[in-house]
Amino acid sequence: MEAAKRGITIISAVSQYSDEKIKQIHQLAKQTCVLHSANITLGINFLIITAKILKNIAPYTDIEVIEEHFKKKPEVSGTAKVIARELNLPEENIKSVRAGGIIGVHEILFGFPYQTVRLKHESITREAFGNGILFAVENLQGKPKGFYSMEDLLLPFFKLQEGEPQIAKRKQWWQFWLK
């Protein structure tokens, strides 16, 4: 691909690439900085990381994935399949709802004894995807060539430590939204 030859950062956000396409993306990462995410929204990627943490804390819970989309979406959401795969769940644990013009809702239900935890993400508008791309572009700056995921970019923000650099970076990224 021409972008890789020129050292231009490549960002890909497709949930159902073939294995061959994924291998091709990894090849491009030898020439430039490449990020691939099945879903580029910050919320979904935060949801997946949080769900993995909760599953590690309480592996005995019942876990279900619920996805909602617009009425005419025929197949199960690729993002829901990724969530199930990341949590080592069978696709049978995905429940689908089709109604109206829903852009995308993904929920992970953890059924504990005596309590329930629900992690939910809803895309209100498609701009959520653009915001994820902006976050990726900013956080890939200065990184060496190679293959990255949204998880790679988000995990440093999970460190609960004091320090001005992370706080300043967070404020800087959100500034465009506050205008």
What are the DSSP calls for 86-103, one per residue?
A: HTT--GGGEEEEE-TT--
Residues 6+ apart with CB under 8 A from 120: 47, 105, 106, 107, 108
For the segment 8-30, what is each residue's pLDDT rounded down to a tens digit?
Answer: 899 998 877 888 988 999 999 99
**Section 40-45 average pLDDT:** 93
Name the residue with higher pLDDT: 161 or 178.
161
Q: Considering only 15-29, 33-47, 101-115, 130-144, which range has the smallest mean pLDDT?
A: 15-29
**Section 38-46 average pLDDT:** 92
Residue 161's pLDDT is: 56
pTM, to two decimals: 0.82
| CA separation for the pair 66, 97 (Å, rounded) | 8
Is pLDDT at 44 greater than 50 in this prediction?
yes
Q: pLDDT-derived band of residue 47, with 50, 70 and 90 as boundaries?
A: very high
Element (H, E) at 118: strand 115-123
Is pLDDT at 147 greater than 70 in this prediction?
yes
Q: Are 85 and 51 in contact (CB under 8 A)?
A: no
Q: What percent of the chain is predicted at pLDDT more than 70? A: 89
For the segment 68-84, what is each residue's pLDDT rounded down to a tens digit?
Answer: 999 999 999 999 999 99
Strand order in the sheet with 115-123: 94-98, 62-69, 104-112, 115-123
Nearest CA to 150 among 132, 167, 177, 166? Answer: 132
Element (H, E) at 64: strand 62-69
Residue 123's pLDDT is: 87
Is pLDDT at 171 greater than 50 in this prediction?
no
